[in-house]
Amino acid sequence: MERNDISVGLDIGTTKIVAMIGRKNEYDKIELLGIGKAKSLGVHRGVVNNITQTIQSIQQAVDEAIAVSGVQISDAIVGIAGQHIRSLQHSDYITRPNSQEVIDEADLEKLESQVHKLVMLPGEEIIHVLPQEFKVDGQAEIKEPIGMYGGRLEANFHVVVGQVSSIRNIGRCIKSAGLSLAGITLEPLASADAVLSQEEKEAGVALIDIGGGTTDLAIFKDGIIRHTAVIPFGGNVITEDIKEGCSIIEKQAELLKTKFGSAWPGENKENEIVSIPGLRGRDPKEITLKNLSKIIHARVVEIIEQTFVEIRNYGHEESKKKLIAGIVLTGGGAQLNHIKQLVEYITGMDTRIGYPNEHLAGDSEESISSPMYATAVGLLMKGLRDKKKMKEKIVAVQSEENSDGDQAQINEEETIKIERKSLFERWSDKFREFLDNAE
């Protein structure tokens, strides 16, 4: 099996860590070779707060995935979330020395590297610089400027910023778990890759990924990312409320939520009761499902309202910015009964549950196409895309060398040295160097 065709997505969540190994099949769908899952013990609200426990959980998930797939892996694409993530809009331009030449990739890289030099708040670092629209010599609304003539190249960027220490802690955990970092991606962007269609991104859509510790939001319009946000609440606060409200232990609260929970309290009748075994010889507790759904309802409403504030901040009420495709819910929290109806009721927007099965090969297990695996599937997709790009560059460089009459086969390492690395790859390299020096 060719190692180049295989990629690994590693979703470091607050409740679970998922390692997914896969490759593309002949129909360009993802064939999952192995999946490993471990309880996440060292992560709180998307941020690592216990390095040792996180390393153990990552190793456990990776070992399980390796055992299932029989493939040895060395690197992974990792998702980053957490309440320290923020995004901002920024415009920048470059003046080209020769307007008689067409704009090429080097010009875009130069413009992007300028944005990377933006001065952030102390302790912050730019994670993504995502171009939105370009302007060439004042001509606006250009989506792809490569190949055009022009002297002044201008662009609006969506810049995603995170805390340096949080990013480094994740890098540290990956390295200590015996893997190298192939790249870092914002988790809502990965989930969006996995569950949104191109039509939805064009029409305007808000992706809400309700995880264990955070709720991630990504808004697309005209096929371009417009807004991202991370809200520091998720499924765990619902479990916490059930635990407090019903005076039971966390394990029981989580089971109650997943088995009997509903986000719509009108659904349950007064006389529906669940009996929970008492602790060590104590009497069992009886809990009415009506009370349970009232507790869940209150918390879910809070999460949705906070997210809706962000959607309004983006400007959903303006006719030009209207999100015609509405909302797509994904993540573990999207499995809660009647949450779709509640979101529609609060926001007045069309809502559907997003499953990542569209990109998976037909024979994939049903459990893997659950919304809770959306981020892991998205990260795996990004990893496979990056590998494909790398391969194309290698082939291009090899054919260039061969056309010069040099028939020597270039090995992969040399080729990678020759190719001009993208900005993010260069940043990743610097980041790896930093980790090595931090030993």
Tokens 């708040």 sit at which residue? 121
Helices (H) and strands (E) in the chain, counts: 12, 18
Continuous H helices in 124-228: 164-176, 187-195, 198-203
Residue 318's pLDDT band (boundaries 50, 70, 90)? confident
Q: Cα(170)–Cα(122) distance, rounded to whole angstroms?
A: 19
The answer to whether residues 12 and 186 touch, using CB atoms and an 8 Å cutoff, is: no
pLDDT (mean) for 188-197: 92
What's CA 409's distance to the chain center, in Å? 38
The overall average pLDDT reported for the chain is 85
Q: How far apart are CA 340 and CA 327, in angstroms?
A: 9
Predicted confidence (pLDDT) per residue in 265-314, tens digit: 876 677 788 888 877 878 888 888 888 899 999 999 999 999 999 999 88
Cα–Cα distance for residue pair 275/273, rounded to 1 Å: 7
Q: Delineate the domains of the chain, giving CATH numbers in brackets.
A: 235-299 (3.30.420.40)
pTM: 0.84
Which tens digits make up the pLDDT trace of 15-73?
A: 899 999 998 888 888 888 889 999 988 888 888 889 999 999 999 999 999 999 888 88
CB atoms within 10 A of CB 73: 21
Q: How far apart are CA 152 and CA 91, in angstroms?
A: 13
How far from chain centre, in Å, is Cα 26?
26
Q: pLDDT for 355-407, tens place per residue?
A: 988 878 776 677 788 899 999 999 999 988 888 888 777 877 777 767 655 54
According to the model, what pLDDT value does residue 387 have? Answer: 83
Of 367, 332, 382, 375, the C-alpha closest to 353 is 332
**Cβ atoms of 52 and 64 closer than 8 Å:** no
Distance CA 74, CA 170 (A): 16
Distance of alpha carbon 90 from alpha carbon 160, whole angstroms = 11
Interatomic CA distance for residues 220 and 225, integer angstroms: 4
